[in-house]
């Protein structure tokens, strides 16, 4: 696993943090994102209204899609 940080003290929504913890590739991609990209992920996650939408966001992270 490339990402060596943790979510403690993070402003990540619980669903996003938990979902990425269950998807190693998403976690690795998130760990390699710039701070700007992470802010974009956070902003997008705050608009999520369902579990399915959160899963789609996590899949987007896992796929390495750009958040620029």
Residue 27 lies in a domain: yes
**Residue 35 in tokens:** 């701070």
User: H or E element: which one contains 47?
Assistant: none
Flag whether 24 is in a domain: yes
Q: For 11-53, how does the pLDDT look when each residue is reduced to its tens digit (9 = 90+)?
A: 788 899 999 999 999 999 999 999 999 999 999 999 999 999 9
Higher pLDDT, 49 or 5: 49
Instruction: Tell me the mean pLDDT in the region 51-68.
Output: 93
User: Is 4 domain-assigned?
Assistant: no
Residue 57 counted as domain residue:
yes
Domains: count for the chain: 1
Domain coverage including residue 57: 14-62
pTM metric for this prediction: 0.80
Cα–Cα–Cα angle for 33, 35, 40, rounded to 5 degrees: 85
| Domain-embedded: residue 53 | yes
What residue has token string 């590739």? 25
* Whole-number Å distance between alpha carbons of 65 and 5: 21
């Amino acid at each position: 696993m490339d990402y060596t940080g943790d979510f403690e003290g993070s402003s990540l929504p619980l669903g996003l943090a938990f979902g990425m913890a269950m998807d190693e590739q998403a976690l690795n991609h998130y760990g390699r994102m710039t701070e700007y990209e992470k802010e974009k992920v956070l902003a997008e996650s705050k608009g999520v209204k369902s579990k399915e939408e959160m899963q789609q966001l996590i899949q987007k992270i896992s796929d390495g899609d750009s958040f620029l």
